[in-house]
Amino acid sequence: MAEELNGVIIINKHKGVTSHDIVFKIRKLFNTRKVGHTGTLDPMAEGVLPVLIGRAAKAAEYLTAEDKGYTAEIQLGITTDTEDTSGKILTKSDTLPAKNDFFEACKKFTGDIKQIPPMYSALKVNGQKLCDLARNGIEIEREARPIHISAIIPEEVDEKAGIYKMDVSCSKGTYIRTLCADIGAHLGCGGAMSKLLRTKSGNFTLDQSHTISELEKISYEDRCRLIIPTEELFSDCDKVFLSDFYSRLAKSGCEIYQSKIKTGYPVDEFVTMWDKKGFFALGQVKQYEGGTAIKAVKLFVI
């Protein structure tokens, strides 16, 4: 019996397909049904899409919170129903701001801000995807959500045409389409996203990514060699090494008191849990009556 594949492969998603289309392709290329992804990319978007294979798919819920990096292009002077240039044009403006005005506007959208999610998004409200409602001509009120944009680095592409590029570093839940629309609204001329490339998702970058066409051209064995170990998904977490006794307890669902294993991590911190066989779980520090303890919140072994 062949050994089960487990780990992550970083895909450089191409334009015109959904994230689910990529998952379907990976299932065929690696001959497994156990495939998931983190951080949906719109069909017009390209770039980094971590795809989780085997037991690594269990990690999805813990990875969507990671920071992202994007290179986006904005077209000033128009607004659309989708907030990108694939949508129906709603308004046009013949008056475009000067380059310096655009650069100054970008500064106002850095730091802790609030953003109203677009109707054309996979976000669910009362169990329904906003995009499904939008396609049926229904628009509902959405609450503004807090996001953090740590940097926007603007660059002129064509000042006369109102086209600019932006390198954006941001928190989870940031809609770059909405950022473009909001900057355009701030400038009074409107704006829509015309291109999007995700350059970073958590610790994974474009340099580590592979296109579907590249994977299709190599052997199954060579594809498997590109799979990154599951533990790399949590490379920012400290490692906690446990004896056979404590690892058996952890795998059975028991909490491991920090006083027993001489650790002192703060409550809510995540750590990776290891034994002599290697990585086996993602753990989180929790408060109990007897003190703080590490509990395995997701096991990655049978």
Number of domains present in the structure of the chain: 3
Residue 149, token pair as written in the block: 């944009």
Give residue-wise pLDDT tens across range 65-92: 678 999 999 999 999 999 999 999 999 9
Q: How confident is the model at residue 132 (pLDDT cuts 50, 70, 90)?
A: low
Q: 80: domain range?
A: 70-198
**DSSP string across 217-263:** TS-HHHHHHTPBPGGGGGTTSEEEE--HHHHHHHHTT--EEHHHHT-
Global pTM? Answer: 0.87
Q: How confident is the model at residue 1 (pLDDT cuts 50, 70, 90)?
A: very low
What type of residue is 113? I
Residue 254, token pair as written in the block: 């028991």
96 with 155, same domain: the answer is: yes
Among the listed residues 21, 42, 112, 207, the single catalytic one is: 42
Q: How confident is the model at residue 4 (pLDDT cuts 50, 70, 90)?
A: confident
**Is 182 a catalytic site residue?**
no
- Looking at 216, 232, 248, the residue that finishes a domain is 232
In a domain, 1, yes or no: no
In a domain, 139, yes or no: yes
189 with 86, same domain: the answer is: yes
- Torsion, CA 249, CA 253, CA 258, CA 263, rounded to 10: 80
254 with 136, same domain: the answer is: no
In a domain, 26, yes or no: yes
Give residue-wise pLDDT tens across range 207-253: 999 999 999 999 999 999 999 999 998 988 999 999 999 999 999 99
Give residue-wise pLDDT tens across range 253-293: 999 999 999 999 999 999 999 999 999 999 999 999 989 99
